[in-house]
Amino acid sequence: MNFNSNFKYNTHGPLAALLIGSAWLLAGCSGEPGNADIEKALTVNAAQGNVQMEQLSKGSSQAFMPQVHAARKLGCKPDTSAAFVCDVELDLTPPRGVRTRTNASLRFVQGSDGWAVAR
């Protein structure tokens, strides 16, 4: 097969934009969790823990429920093909505690519903 060496690729056309955009989307889907993903996973995890505590404590004070106010990703490194260990700055109030900021290394796993905190 003989290719014409004078052929020039159109890098500004709609097909090029579609291919480049698709590559960026695929790269984003297979990468580490973003800040919003981490906040959502921590919020879901805290809510699940709060439901369990509520059932155990039979409706006692909210003071026994941990609260995550904010989370900020500091960095992540791959743990497995679908998991990352991320250093996260947490703004939280522990059960019966005082609101504080602390750093933690947490493992996040990507599932069908998005990212989740794994133990």
pLDDT given at position 22: 42
pTM over 0.75: no
pLDDT in tens, the chain (119 residues): 555 555 454 555 555 444 444 444 444 455 999 999 999 999 988 888 777 777 776 766 666 677 889 999 999 999 988 899 999 999 999 888 899 999 999 999 999 999 999 97
User: For residue 108, what are the CA distances in angstroms to 8, 29, 31, 57, 59?
Assistant: 44, 14, 12, 28, 30
Contacts of 42 (CB under 8 A, 6+ apart): 68, 71, 88, 90, 106, 117
Question: Is CATH 2.60.40 the classification given to domain 34-118?
Answer: no
